Structure 1
Amino acid sequence: MPVRIELNCPPETAKLLSQGIVDFNRAAVHDLEPNEAELRFHVVATDDEGQVIGGLRGACYWNTLHIELLWLADEARGTGIGRQIIEAAETFAVQSGCEKALVETTSWQAKPFYEKNGYTLTATLEGRPKGHASHYLSKTLATA
């Protein structure tokens, strides 16, 4: 049984692998939300001139808001814009059926910011990247 690394995996092989795990998951959890139901979105903040000063990229699936990235321009930090962005994403996520939120941040990024906004540290992976750490935080979202 040969095992190999594919840097340019043929699309049909990649599709077969993806479909394999989808089928496995659906067999294990019959009422699992289908992958096609994933809802990708952005929250965008602009200044008075319409210039982007921050935002968030997220996805809603498996009843969870996944915060993929959050960025603020230097001049927007400490102004409350970050909190407004998080609140907008969480509100949208709840309206989309999410009950949980999940985010990964690194030691030089925004762990205190997320904690101040109600996120709880669930795990830390030291040495990722070298000399730093990755932090994984979660939050139970208030549902209506």
Structure 2
Amino acid sequence: MTLRVEVTDSADADDVARIGAELAAFNNADVGPSEKVALTVLVRDDRGDLAAGLSGYTAWGWLYVQWLWVSEGLRGQGIAARMLDEAEAAARARGCHGAWIDTFSPTALRSYQRQGYAVFGELPDFPAGRRRSFLKKAL
């Protein structure tokens, strides 16, 4: 059998879906099902417009916060802390024992540390001139 390796920035959606499905099947056999469930916290203004949000998921007993955004005019008012509190409470209700998040923003890093998150790893120059910090917290 001859194998051909392809590198692309426009993979077929079915191929990408297959990669995910195959990895999920392997992981299920190896460590059990992840029971992955999306978790989103939305903050809306009095007009109903989105003013801040958190998006992530719970899996294998952990909350992962993939994205956390607060509109510029609301920053520094504790909105991120409130969203993290809500996400963590929902994760605990789902049986999670820990949470993790990553950032390359020094401001966000301090905010997460004030919320009880501790750095467990870093990547220097990700992006150049910054460091990407990975943080965790027991729930």
Confirm or deny a common fold (TM above 0.5): yes
- Structure 2: distance between partners of 1:11 and 1:111: 34
Q: Which one is further off, 3-12 or 68-77?
A: 3-12
Measured after TM superposition, the shift of residue 27 of structure 1 is 2.6
State yes or no: 1:22 paired with 2:20: no
Change (3 A) 1:22 1:82: closer
In terms of mean alpha carbon deviation, does 56-65 or 9-18 score higher?
9-18
Q: Which residue of 1 is the match for residue 85 of structure 2?
A: 87
By how many angstroms is 1:140 displaced? 0.7
Question: TM-score under structure 2 normalisation?
Answer: 0.85
Aligned amino acid, residue 65 of structure 2: I
- Match for residue 96 of structure 2 among 87, 95, 98: 98
For 1:49 and 1:22, locate their aligned partners in 2 and report how far apart those are by CA, in whole Å: 41
Q: Could you tell me which amino acid in structure 1 is paired with residue 119 of structure 2?
A: L
CA distance in 2, matches of 1:10, 1:51: 34
Structure 1 residue runs without a partner (length 5+) = none
Which deviates further from its counterpart, 85-94 or 74-83?
74-83
Residue number in structure 1 paired with 2:33: 33
Of 2, 6, 9 in structure 1, the residue corresponding to residue 8 of structure 2 is 6
Offset, 1:85: 1.0
1:42 corresponds to which residue?
A: 40
Comparing 99-108 with 73-82, greater Cα deviation is found at 73-82
- Matching residue of 2:123: 125
Note closer, same or farther for the CA distance 1:83–1:7 as it changes in structure 2 (3 Å cut): closer
Deviation at 1:43, TM superposition (A): 0.8
Identity of matched residues, %: 28
Q: Supply the distance in 1 between the matched residues of 2:37 and 2:106 (Cα, whole angstroms).
A: 29
Please tell me whether the aligned partners of residues 40 and 53 of structure 2 are also in contact (alpha carbons under 8 angstroms).
yes
d(CA) in 1 for partners of 2:13, 2:74: 42
**For the residues of structure 2 that align with 1:28 and 1:49, how far apart are their CA atoms?**
48
TM-score normalised by the chain length of structure 1: 0.82
Corresponding pairs, count: 137
Separation of aligned partners in 2, 1:98 and 1:137: 16
